[in-house]
Structure 1
């Protein structure tokens, strides 16, 4: 060191953060010359389940005891990506996975009509044709959902503004149509898929970085509503009804702030849900009747 405090001689360059000129003792296994069986024992150690790094050990992460960790990361990964993309509010769209676009629905009907003409007595084909005609009659909803997707895409400053973004369950049918509408406008849209026992594919119109696959329905449901500014329910089945009634329950109990819930297709919803029936006395009498018919009546009122 010089009298003024400056270093003497050349200053050595910074060392490499990983590489070394001389290996550390633990970078090489024990020499075979010292113990011929040591290498095999070390190999057994590093390939054993206990040696696997915890966050890369799928078998460990899939245990019942690590469910809490899985719930956390099932929530956190989509949350961080939604934040990264600047998505503040969402319009959630649900509906049947079976409702095809009109031309596809017509093709299905024509194919079954031809099959039935070739085999008029085939009851299985008759049944499939009846279902296909029902789907064709509702295929107009596909186009309506697609138009809705276009409108949501133009919210704010337009397609490049993701603050209000369309969200669907990521599947085919109505959800495909809504994602497709946003795609038509060059806007981002979200798909929240779920792992199921059978193979499934997300629809091709979701923004790739915003197509998520959840392990837990609970985390998926949370993300559907966390940023939701409206829920739009098209004709659908159990999944649609599930999301609809859960949303209504959360609003009714003020667990979440009230938001618009729009039912598309009045004739369908009046048949699917008899709102006039949902009154307390009729509900209670229905429950009591069910138990009486089951042979285990509830206690009478005093």
Structure 2
């Protein structure tokens, strides 16, 4: 029997994959042939998709899924915020201090606590950007995006939430527990297997990046961004580097220039910041925005 849609010239003639999957499930039988994994539809066969040979396919899936969902959500550009997963929020300072049981640990903990004000600056920067609610061509701009984890990442998502805005979290699967913080918008909370694809998604929509004190992960993200702009692979964007004392203690930028391995003006790729206000002002001035 001919269905009404069968005469529609604009309708596709093939069934969607979801429909085909439904057909396969409805017609499933219990013969030896249909019970063997070889008979499963390839796109429904998780064992097959997890084989080493399918790594290129998994790469493509991790590229496509967030890209498609962010586009559908109307995310035009992002304000990306990098930083440590260990710096405590001001309200958790005493709880962290209580974990120091040795003199050596006490020194480390007090240094982390001394940086807790950056949690507040990250939260305020995210709040300010989100409150501006810039929309161009029906796409939301400067949507806050973090790694989705605790500490500075939590502060970013928290600031957006307090401004009544959605925010993105790009989480990563790790051997130890790594769950999204409670402030990430559920429909914009993504989980990655590959660090490389996660870092790509951080920068695909980035129109500004704020970098707070952090460890290996923050270094990795920050220096890859610098490299992309330094080499001309990416157009310049505002890079806000928070914590001049910290960064100058752990990285000698001047020595890199003196040794000739970077140009002296390469340090102009980023802007030193200490407060949310000066960071946001740099973004506003760079793009000549109306929202101050």
Fold agreement, TM-score > 0.5:
yes
Flag the 1:83–1:112 CA change in 2: closer, same or farther, 3 A: closer
Q: Which stretches of structure 1, 4 residues or more, deviate above 4 A after TM superposition?
A: 12-15, 26-29, 280-284
CA distance in 2: counterparts of 1:47 and 1:151, whole angstroms: 56
Name the SS of the counterpart of 1:77 in structure 2. helix
Question: Structure 2 vs 1, CA of residues 281 and 200 (structure 1 numbering), >3 Å: closer, same or farther?
Answer: closer
- Is residue 230 of structure 2 the alignment partner of residue 252 of structure 1? yes
| Cα distance per residue 1:27-77 (max 9 Å; x no partner) | 697xxxxxxxxx6xx1x2222110111111111111121111111111111
Match of 1:51 in 2: 39
Does residue 78 of the first structure (1) align with residue 55 of the second (2)? no
CA distance in 1, matches of 2:3, 2:257: 77
Residues 236 and 155 of structure 1: CA distance in aligned 2, closer, same or farther (over 3 Å): same
Q: How many residues are treated as equivalent by the alignment?
A: 242
Matches of 1:212 and 1:28, distance apart in 2: 33
Relative to structure 1, the CA distance from residue 196 to residue 156 in structure 2 (aligned partners, 3 Å threshold; closer, same or farther) is: same
**Length-normalised TM-score, structure 1:** 0.73
Deviation at residue 218 of structure 1 after TM alignment: 1.4
Deviation at 1:223, TM superposition (A): 0.7
1:104 and 2:92 equivalent? yes
Match of 1:213, SS state, is strand
Deviates more, 1:145-154 or 1:127-136: 127-136
Q: Report the alpha carbon displacement of residue 197 of structure 1 after superposing the two structures with TM.
A: 1.8
How far apart, in 1, do the equivalents of 2:115 and 2:182 lie? 22
Equivalent residues in 2 for 1:67-146, closer than 5 Å: 67-109=55-97, 111-112=98-99, 125-146=102-123
Aligned to 1:4: none
CA shift for structure 1 position 168? 0.6
TM-score normalised to the size of structure 2? 0.76
- Asked whether the 8 Å contact 1:165–1:188 carries over to 2, the reply is yes
SS at match of 2:227: helix
Is residue 166 of structure 1 aligned with residue 136 of structure 2? no
Query: Which aligned pairs between 1:122-271 and structure 2 lie closer than 5 A?
Result: 125-157=102-134, 162-271=140-249
Report if the CA contact (8 A) 1:155-1:164 is conserved: no
Match of 1:278 among 243, 253, 256: 256
3-state secondary structure, aligned to 1:254? coil
Structure 2 gap segments, 5+ residues each: 7-25, 263-292
The whole-number CA distance in structure 1 between the counterparts of 2:119 and 2:191 is 23
Query: Does the Cα contact within 8 Å between 1:105 and 1:135 map onto a contact in 2?
Result: no
Shift, 1:163, TM fit: 2.7
**Structure 1 unaligned residues grouped into runs of 5+:** 1-11, 18-25, 30-38, 117-124, 285-302
Q: Please give the alpha-carbon distance, in whole angstroms, between the structure 1 residues aligned to 2:56 and 2:72.
A: 24
Q: What is the Cα deviation at residue 137 of structure 1?
A: 1.0
